[in-house]
Amino acid sequence: MSELIAAVATPPGTGGVGILRLSGPGAARAAAQVFRPKGKRPLTEAPDRQLLYGTLLDREGRAIDTGLAFVSRAPHSYTGEETAELQCHGSPMVLSLVLEALWAAGARQARAGEFTQRAFLNGKLDLTQAEAVIDLIDAETPAAARQAAGQLEGVLSRRIEEIYSGLTDVMAHFCAVLDYPDEDIDPFQAQQLQEALDRQGEALQALLRTSRRGRLLTQGITCVLIGRPNAGKSSLLNALAGYERAIVTHIPGTTRDTVEGKITLAGHPFRLVDTAGLRDSDDPIEQLGVERSRAAMAQADLILMVCDGTQPWTDEDTDLLNQAVDQADTILVANKSDLPGHGTPMFVSDGTGHSLTVVGLSAKTGLGMELLEEALTAQAEALFPRTQEGAYGQLLTNQRQTDAVRRAAESVARASQALAAGITPDALLTDVEAAMAALGELTGKTLREDITSRIFERFCVGK
């Protein structure tokens, strides 16, 4: 039997409106204890989701605000349980007095994400939909919000369900064959099974291909700044972040600090990473921080190499730039264009595989910053093709989802190869089962306590 929980659902601080929610047995009765309607009908007898106007009371029954309240009975509520919501003015004092009154009425403080966790446990949402709730709350761009909304609506769940159901059919076929172990599998049937299995394998691969775009959308395009000390990396990061008023935070790394800033340009999210601490050596090679840059570059979707345009271009610079172009699309920023003697390096990169754009600017005066913004936007547009805009909601947006789909795809591929090699069906069953278990983990059909509790810990209290 679940307990009655309550929490303030609106953010801390003052605001126009403050909302408290309750979920669990006795939610309506507890809410009625702190809310006196103006009309005759008590809150406990109000129809589901019908707003009543009335007075909010503290634990001694004294009026402390006027507001609205409604109840929603199981199973027609967010959590699937009996719930109630109280809306008052967004005063931290009023909210805390009402909350205290709710404790007196038998509720306890809800843990972070407990409402959504209950919604999941009661089958109102699957696990990918529950994750979409956090993604939606955290969304920083319109595209990220649309993606999360689609996932919350069940677009990804349905896609996974189709694959799961396809694999269930394959299992059923295998089991039918296993009932007659002495008979060889009929070639026609084997062919059909192979096709059915491969169809699901392809669907899983298609899903896997969405993970990069999903990651870029939710975490931002990781843009790593490299270059010599004093080239102006921090200044450039601040200029970019300041332009968008993003918060630049110091994130302790394992060996050195990296500085990160999140910005949005033309609706595209960027995560700017400055490899700080590259300034403690006299050795010109080490000054370039080649080793340390390499680690940072490995996680880059885009590299910004910053150089001081007033300094001579060296062979070491060429090496670093070539390495960058080998790793990812690169923008070379010739900084300090406000100073005399500034020039833009002229050379042909022999790095392979990725594009190189050169931009001259001054991080200090802002001269030419718009050229960099254009270059960044062009890169983002290449990474988020417009033709895929309709696909919101069906992207894999985090590592947990991607890992589960990858395991499912690998199991299906193994089963398919084994079938093609004429291995007996019982040997394949294990692989198909493993694929289904991985998909079950993804949607939460097969419960894994460790995974689910980690997901709900990421929520805020009241959600």
Compute the Cα dihedral for 115, 118, 124, 129 and give only its sign. positive
Q: Which is nearer to ligand GDP, 287 or 377 (CB)?
A: 287
Per-residue string for binding with ligand GDP, 184-223, x by CB under 6 A?
----------------------------------------
Q: Which residue type, as a one-letter code, is found at position 366?
A: G
Output the CA–CA distances (angstroms, integers) from residue 99 to 6, 112, 463, in the order listed.
8, 16, 16
Among 151, 210, 327, 362, binds ligand GDP (CB under 6 A): 362
**Which span (110-118, 330-338, 376-384, 430-438) binds ligand GDP, by CB under 6 A?**
330-338
> Judged by CB under 6 A, which of 44, 122, 194, 234 binds ligand GDP?
234
Tell me how far, at minimum, the Cβ of 137 lies from ligand GDP, in Å: 33
**Mask of contacts with ligand GDP, 101-140, x by CB under 6 A?**
----------------------------------------
User: Least distance to ligand GDP from the beta carbon of 162, Å?
Assistant: 50
- Coil vs helix vs strand at 238: helix
Q: In which residue are the tokens 């278990």 written? A: 437
* Selected range binding ligand GDP among 158-166, 193-201, 232-240, 455-463, rule: CB under 6 A: 232-240
Determine if 364 is a binding residue for ligand GDP (CB under 6 A).
yes
Q: Distance between CA atoms of 19 and 56, rounded to whole angstroms? A: 12
Inter-residue contact 89 to 18 (CB < 8 Å): yes
User: DSSP code of 13?
Assistant: S
CB of 276 to ligand GDP, least distance (A): 7
The set of residues, in sequence order, having a beta carbon less than 8 Å from that of 93 and lying 6+ positions away, is none
Shortest Å, Cβ 242 to ligand GDP: 13
| CB 323 to ligand GDP: min, Å | 18
433: amino acid identity, one letter: E
CA-CA distance, 253 to 28, in Å (whole number)?
A: 48
Place of tokens 């008023």: 245
**Tokens matching residue 278:** 């590259």
Cβ-based nearer residue to ligand GDP, 43 or 304:
304
Q: Find the helix packing angle between 155-178 and 127-138, rounded to 10°.
A: 160
Q: Is 377 in the site for ligand GDP (CB under 6 A)?
A: no
Among 231, 305, 396, 415, binds ligand GDP (CB under 6 A): 231
- Closer CB to ligand GDP, residue 63 or residue 251? 251
Residues in contact with ligand GDP, shown as a per-residue x/- string from 382 to 401 under the rule CB under 6 A: --------------------
Q: How far is the CB of 118 from ligand GDP (least distance, A)?
A: 48
Q: Distance (Å, rounded) from C-alpha 4 to C-alpha 22?
A: 7
Contact 372, 361 (CB under 8 A): yes
363 touches ligand GDP by CB under 6 A: yes
Mapped onto helix, strand or coil, the DSSP state of residue 228 is coil
**Least distance from ligand GDP to the Cβ atom of residue 238, Å:** 8
CB of 336 to ligand GDP, least distance (A): 4
Secondary structure of residue 438 in the 3-state scheme: helix
* Token pair listed for 353: 């595989």
Task: Tell the smallest beta-carbon distance from residue 243 to ligand GDP (Å).
Answer: 14
Q: How far is the CB of 231 from ligand GDP (least distance, A)?
A: 4
Tell me which residues in 260-319 interact with ligand GDP (CB under 6 A).
279, 306
Q: What string of H, E and C letters represents the secondary structure of 167-208? A: HHHHHHHHHHHHCCCCCCCCHHHHHHHHHHHHHHHHHHHHHH
Cα distances (angstroms) measured from residue 386 to each of 149, 173, 246 = 18, 41, 26
Q: How many residues bind ligand GDP (CB under 6 A)?
A: 17
Which residues make up the interface to ligand GDP (CB under 6 A)? 227, 229-235, 279, 306, 335-336, 338-339, 362-364
